[in-house]
Amino acid sequence: MIDENDFEVYIQNIFDILNAYYSIDFSSYKLNCLQRRIKRRMIISKIDKVEEYLELISNDEKERSKLMDTITINVTRFFRDEKTYNYIYKNLLPKFTQKKDIKVWSAGCSSGEEPYSIAMLLDYYKTEKHLNYNYNIFATDIDSRSIDKGLSGVYTPKSIYNLSDIFHIIFNFYIKKQGNYYYIDENIMNSVHFEKNSIFSSNWEGKFDFIFCRNVFIYFSRELQNQALQIFRDHLKDDGYLVLGRVETIFFEKRNIFNIISNRDKIYSKKIKE
C-alpha cells in the first residue's frame, strides 16, 4: 500500500527532479491529478514507498521519462469535438475573408493532430471560398516526444477515431494513405511550426487571430489557469478568438477580460475594456 502522507513529504522533490531534467515546474499543477499519475507509475514499478520511487527516477532515465509521459498525457485526435470546428467554419471564418494573414497558436498541441486540423480547416475554407490569405499555425507543447511526432507528420487510424463523414472528406483531402499510415500533405506541414515550449515561457512577437488551448487546463490549478488566460489575452488580436476545451471554462475572476462567443464550444473574444 502506498502511504498517502509520504506524498506530502516527497512530492516537491519529485517536481524538483522533473524540473531539473525537463525544465518544467509542475508545482502549481493540480496536485491530486499529478499524484494519481505518479501512483500509477509506482504500481507499475512495483514500488510502494515514495522515497524509493524518488530514488528510482533520480537514477533511471527510462523511468523518469515514463513518468514524464504519464504526467503529460497527450491524448488527442484530428478534429476533436467536430462541433467546435464546425462552429468556427460556419460562424467565425466568414469574418476573416478580408485578411491577408491568419496566425494561430495551438498551445498544448500534443502530437500535432490539433494544429494540423486547424491548418486543414483554414485551407479547406480558403479553397472553397476562393480566398487567398496565408495562414500559419504555431504549435507548442512541453513534451518533446509529442513535438517530434508532430514534426514527423505521420499518423495511424487511432488519430482519426470517430471522425464523421464530412470531416473525413476534409482529412482525406490533405493526407496520403500508405498501408496503415497517414502522411500529412507537404503544404499543410509547412504551415505548422512546432516548438517545445511551455505556455508560461512563451515569448511571441505579434498577436494571434486564434488561440487554441484545449484540454490543457485540466492539469492546471485555478491560479495557473488564470495566469494562462492573461497570457492568452495579451497575445490575442482585438478581433481574435480563444478556443478552450469543451469541458473547460473561464472562472468569474477572469470574465472581465473575455466575452463569451459560444458557451457550448467554449469560444471567447477579448474584452477591449477591462
Ligand X SMILES: C[S@@+](CC[C@H](N)C(=O)[O-])C[C@H]1O[C@@H](n2cnc3c(N)ncnc32)[C@H](O)[C@@H]1O
Residues that bind ligand X (CB under 6 A): 72-76, 80, 107-110, 114, 140-143, 146, 198-200, 214-216, 219, 245
Q: Cβ of residue 273: shortest distance to ligand X, in angstroms?
A: 29
Spatial CA neighbour of 236 closest among 197, 200, 268, 274: 268
Q: At what angle do helices 165-173 and 113-128 cross, to 10 degrees?
A: 90
In the numeric block, the cell 464530412 is attached to 166
Q: Cβ of residue 69: shortest distance to ligand X, in angstroms?
A: 9
Q: Which is nearer to ligand X, 143 or 209 (CB)?
A: 143
Which residues are CB-contacts of 187 (< 8 A; sequence separation ≥ 6)?
123
Largest Cα–Cα distance of the chain, in whole Å? Answer: 63
Q: Which is nearer to ligand X, 76 or 191 (CB)?
A: 76
Spatial CA neighbour of 55 closest among 7, 115, 91, 14: 14
Q: Which is nearer to ligand X, 28 or 45 (CB)?
A: 28
Q: Cβ of residue 45: shortest distance to ligand X, in angstroms?
A: 21
Distance CA 175, CA 117 (A): 11
Q: Cβ of residue 220: shortest distance to ligand X, in angstroms?
A: 7
Helix, strand or coil, per DSSP, at residue 203: coil
Q: Cβ of residue 232: shortest distance to ligand X, in angstroms?
A: 12
Q: Cβ of residue 272: shortest distance to ligand X, in angstroms?
A: 27
CA separation, residue 85 to residues 88, 170, 174, 242 (Å): 5, 12, 16, 13
Distance CA 184, CA 206 (A): 28
Q: Which is nearer to ligand X, 123 or 143 (CB)?
A: 143
Q: Cβ of residue 158: shortest distance to ligand X, in angstroms?
A: 13
DSSP H or E run through 152: helix 144-152
Q: Cβ of residue 123: shortest distance to ligand X, in angstroms?
A: 19
Distance CA 111, CA 147 (A): 6
Which residues are CB-contacts of 12 (< 8 A; sequence separation ≥ 6)?
27
CA dihedral 138, 72, 181, 115 (to 10 degrees): -20
Q: Which is nearer to ligand X, 145 or 207 (CB)?
A: 145
